[in-house]
Chain A
Amino acid sequence: QLQLQESGPGLVKPSETLSLTCTVSGGSIGSNSFYWDWIRQPPGNTLEWIGSIYYSGSTNYSPSLKSRVTISRDTSKNQFSLKLSSVTAADTAVYYCVRRMKVRSSLTAIDYWGQGALVTVSS
């Protein structure tokens, strides 16, 4: 059974960089046809897609966050990571790492989620 686990600081100061790591067990992040995404959910709000890294290593980011986001991976540790720079209170959210599967052609859906990590931006 695939499992994803987010880890990282729960409190980040304004203007600093938020860093989270997702450790994947029960499957390889190098497996064909899977994307590894970051999604966030501000308290009481809907979900927001941040970006993804494909099994090949290619990345895509939300245009609204692209200037501040970097998603990378370490296949030797079966981990992928999120860095979000110059954070403000608006970046306070539960951050989820997820696996997005290819259903067919370019159709994809998120079939596995981490439990989520609350990151608060405050001085």
Chain B
Amino acid sequence: DIQMTQSPSSLSASVGHRVTITCRASQNISVYVNWYQQKPGKAPKLLIYAAVSLQSGVPSGFSGGGSGTDFSLTISSLQPEDFATYYCQQTYSIPFTFGPGTKVEIK
């Protein structure tokens, strides 16, 4: 199985700040990475697919980067509604594995 790791596991930040979350795959997965946002008690929501493409309806303050084994999710200016847990997922090979998540909290 391809292992996905994320850092940090949690972070505290203020509204308006720029935040970057990183995700690393245990092998080269090209751009087969998606990013999801999950709020407590809710299903995840797709933010970024194919490493860099913004899902329709997602605010432009979210952006993705990377290829190969190292990927990033950046929130350019943190908004109150962005406080949530973020997961990366690889769809390069079965089983499609998720990272452990990064919890973004209010400072």
Contacts and interface: CB of A to CB of B under 8 A. Distances in A.
A111 B34 CA distance: 10
A80 B23 CA distance: 32
Interface class of chain B by DSSP:
loop
A109 B94 contact: no
Interface string B44-80: 1110011001010000000000000000000000000
Contact of B95 (A62, A110, A116): A62
**Secondary structure of the A contact surface, majority rule:** strand
A47 B87 contact: yes
Interface residues of B, number: 25
A113 B31 CA distance: 22
A47 B55 contact: no
A114 B87 contact: no
Interface residues of A, number: 21
Residue among A47, A111, A115 with the highest chain B CB neighbour number at 10 A? A47
Given A46-B87, A103-B49, A110 B34 contact: yes
B101 A46 contact: yes
Nearest to B30: A107
Contacts of A109: 34, 46, 49-50, 55, 91
Interface of B: 1, 31-32, 34, 36, 42-46, 49-50, 53, 55, 87, 89, 91, 94-101
15 contacts: A46-B98, A46-B99, A46-B100, A46-B101, A49-B95, A60-B94, A63-B1, A63-B94, A63-B95, A64-B95, A96-B43, A107-B32, A110-B36, A110-B44, A110-B46
